[in-house]
Structure 1
Amino acid sequence: MPNTTDRPDPPARTAAEPSPPAGLETTERYETDDGVVFYDAANPLAWLEAGDALQLADQV
């Protein structure tokens, strides 16, 4: 399923910044009535698990 949400390009990384975690570049998302679902586009049957749920609006 393609990512149909608009998202800005990430800022360019400098040499001093660490590389993002493996799999981050293939992580996609889609919205449902209950929230947002994140998944690995390279392996859509894989599960992403979080220990705690956070409101994204509270994090920005």
Structure 2
Amino acid sequence: MNNRLVLSGYNSSITFFLDSPSREKVEEYVNQLIEISKLKLSVKYGRIDSDIPEGIYMG
């Protein structure tokens, strides 16, 4: 049984052990890291074209 979760990106990786403190806590933490990374990437690299209606971006 594989009891590790490996999160990788940006030429690095980090290993989480799913039983410490608990599988649910580890998955919740990793999901938060992923969401924060997505947000930071969209702020850094996302561009909004003022000629496109806002509803298209929000949809």
Please report the TM-score for the alignment, with normalisation by the length of structure 2: 0.25
Please report the TM-score for the alignment, with normalisation by the length of structure 1: 0.25
Give the number of the structure with larger relative contact order, counting CA–CA contacts within 8 Å between residues 6 or more apart: 1
